[in-house]
Structure 1
Amino acid sequence: MDTPIYKIVPRPLWREAEAKGRFEGAPVDLKDGYIHFSTGAQVRETAERHFSGEDDLLLLAIDADALGDALKWERSRGGQLFPHLYGPLPLDRVLWAEDLPLAPDGHHTFPASVR
């Protein structure tokens, strides 16, 4: 499927992951039993639905192909296939982490590379 995949993470949570050497997930991920990701086509809607108005966020790009069999593509919102990681995210699978700032209109500003 698509590579890279994306994860929106509050900056303090990502700093904890960097200190641990792995990302175990946000509270919703821990509750659901897997780490939620989005494709480039899905991530803007994910930001609107789950992070509306939130600041101090990072957008992570992850090499989906490098996650192996722990990454499952499962139906979710609107019947779309979403990437779900069953297990912690090794930090060496993260291609980059960039600020995800709020624009004056209240929507997040995504890097141009995210399509």
Structure 2
Amino acid sequence: TLNVRGMRKQHLQRNIGPNNQSNFYTWLRQTDSSILALQELGFDPPGPTAIQQQTFNQILKCNDAVWTGHCALLIRDPSLSITSSSTFLNGRVITASVKSSSSPFEATFCV
């Protein structure tokens, strides 16, 4: 079963970190979502650095992800991967194609 969720969370950069144990981030790490779309992240331009993205991916248990200063598409199911992605409107919109290695599934998502 594929579980897709979307969430608006302002100022992710200010609230998340390896030692942050807030209820929201604990829930986010433990949720069973296969794909998670986050909006209104509030990063300073041009968005999270490669190191920040790597840290967030580890904390949020992501196998693959696309990050901008405004939104993110997080792939948490190990059988899924992003095959292509584009960003529009200064990073306010992400489109991505996602494919499964374990079933004949392919879809395009827009965040």
Please identify which structure carries the higher strand content.
2
TM-score over 0.5 (shorter chain): no
Please identify which structure carries the higher helix content.
1
By relative contact order (CA 8 Å, sep 6+), the higher-ranking structure is: 1
TM-score, length-scaled by structure 1? 0.29
